[in-house]
Structure 1
Amino acid sequence: MAFAGVLQDADITAALNACKDEGKFDHKSFFKTCGMAGKSADDLKKAFGIIDQDQSGFIEEEELKLFLQNFKAGARALSDAETKAFLKAGDSDGDGKIGVDEFAAMVKA
């Protein structure tokens, strides 16, 4: 698992179970439940690097759609509505993608 050593397996499972049904994903609740909200800036940078699968320095919409799969293989993809809401929550400068500082601010919000 990509987040082994950073997050607890039980916390990840609880966070994924809370949003397993379409329309139930809430980024604030997810970050709190999985334990990411309490992590250091360095840990958040590591998490960003995992989620930024193409290593572009940004998390784009397609990477957000597959966000849950970073935590567990086989987890569902986010719906288009969930993905757009997630992007809107994190994209503070309006450029259509989430940078590392935007990601950290979103996790800590």
Structure 2
Amino acid sequence: MSMTDVLAAADISKAVGAFEATDSFNHKKFFELCGLKSKSTDDVKKVFHILDQDRSGYIEEDELKMVLKGFTPNGRALSDKETKILLAAGDKDGDGKIGVDEFAALVAEC
């Protein structure tokens, strides 16, 4: 499954393009721009599984750093600061990673 099976390619491009500058990433605005905010919980979970590259059941810090590349190959890597902010926003149980339910909650709260 690819990201374009869940989200429109044009929306992904627009969202990734809006955050080309380093330290400009805002996950709330990103999830809204790419159309993920308006998707069903099932679709949000599909996106989670695409981003969970190692299939561990979690999105760890190294996968978060590459979150934009998970949406499109020409996305940039997040800075360390952006990655830490995103992890802090999504990691509700403090285990240093984001599980599927945490990810769904992160998208829903946007």
Task: Say whether the fold is shared (TM-score over 0.5).
Answer: yes
Count of matched residue pairs: 109
- Aligned partner letter, 2:45: K
In structure 2, the partner of 1:50 is 50
Inter-partner Cα distance in structure 2 for 1:36 and 1:99 = 17
Q: State the Cα distance separating 1:5 from its structure 2 match.
A: 2.5
Alignment of 1:37-76 (within 5 A): 37-76=37-76
Indicate conservation of the 8 Å contact 1:51/1:63, yes or no: yes
Alignment of 1:7-26 (within 5 A): 7-26=7-26
Runs of 4+ in 1 over 6 A off after TM superposition: none
After superposition, what is the alpha-carbon deviation per residue over 1:26-76, rounded to whole angstroms, capped at 9, x for unaligned? 000000000001111111111010000000000000000000001111311
Structure 1 segments unaligned to the other structure (5+ residues): none
Indicate conservation of the 8 Å contact 1:15/1:30, yes or no: yes
Inter-partner Cα distance in structure 2 for 1:78 and 1:57 = 21
Identity %: 57
- Aligned partner letter, 1:18: A
In structure 2, the partner of 1:81 is 81
- Aligned partner letter, 2:66: L
RMSD of aligned C-alpha atoms? 1.1
Structure 2 segments unaligned to the other structure (5+ residues): none
TM-score by length of structure 1 reads 0.96
Inter-partner Cα distance in structure 2 for 1:25 and 1:19 = 5
Inter-partner Cα distance in structure 2 for 1:24 and 1:18 = 8
TM-score by length of structure 2 reads 0.95
Inter-partner Cα distance in structure 2 for 1:77 and 1:55 = 20
Inter-partner Cα distance in structure 2 for 1:53 and 1:5 = 17
